[in-house]
Amino acid sequence: MKNDTWIKQQVSENNMIAPFVDHTVRKDGDRKILSYGLSPSGYDLRLADKIVGRSDKAGLDPKNPSSAVVSEFDIEEDETGRYVWVPSGTFFASSIEYLKMPRNVSGFVLPKSTYGRCGISVINPLIDAGWEGNLTIAAVNHSKNPVKIYLGEGFCQLVLFDVGDCEVSYDTRRPISRRQGRCHEPHLT
């Protein structure tokens, strides 16, 4: 597993995470927020301003995910921050941070315990060595009740680990994946 010292070095040399915050942020002025930024063993990612869900009433086809009905959740704001109410089920968001995975490092995204205690889990697969873009984060509200999801605040933790020298990394596969280099929109295909 890669630590904070290694992450700082990769950001400095290769712009691995942008924007990058080299410490843990817990407040925005006087307002308490869900922490984001560098931690001892990873990086807490924030959610961008769009969260979508999809209806599975007609069924879902993993070979044709764009056939599902997609709905965007309304953004609200009060003294606690900007947020959306997410009902039970699967939802998708994009990270604010743009990631450039080195060719010898892969990653996992884990839920923050704050959201885990509310019934939220993150279901992202492995982030391959050589992948880059704003990460589409897939999550599930397992609760019977809607959960308030805060935008621009910490949502999940990126954990990185060395995979050695890859013969084929995400950025060298042919044809290049349509997911490579995607920006600021949660993608369901």
Residue written as token pair 């009060």: 78
Radius of gyration of the chain (CA): 17
Task: Please tell me the distance from the alpha carbon of residue 120 to that of residue 112, in angstroms, as a whole number.
Answer: 9
| Among 22, 13, 12, 41, CA closest to 110 | 41
97: its two tokens: 């941070």
pLDDT at 184: 55
pLDDT at 70: 76
Q: What is the chain's percent helix, strand, coil content, to nearest 5? A: 10, 45, 45
- Residue 185: which pLDDT band, with cuts at 50, 70 and 90? low
119: its two tokens: 């019934």
Q: Tens digit of pLDDT for each residue in 123-159? A: 988 899 999 999 999 999 999 999 999 999 999 999 9
Task: Please tell me the distance from the alpha carbon of residue 151 to that of residue 96, in angstroms, as a whole number.
Answer: 9
Does the structure show a pLDDT above 70 at 84? yes
Does residue 58 or residue 99 have the better pLDDT? Answer: 99
What are the CA-CA distances from residue 168 to residues 83, 130, 180 (Å)?
39, 9, 15
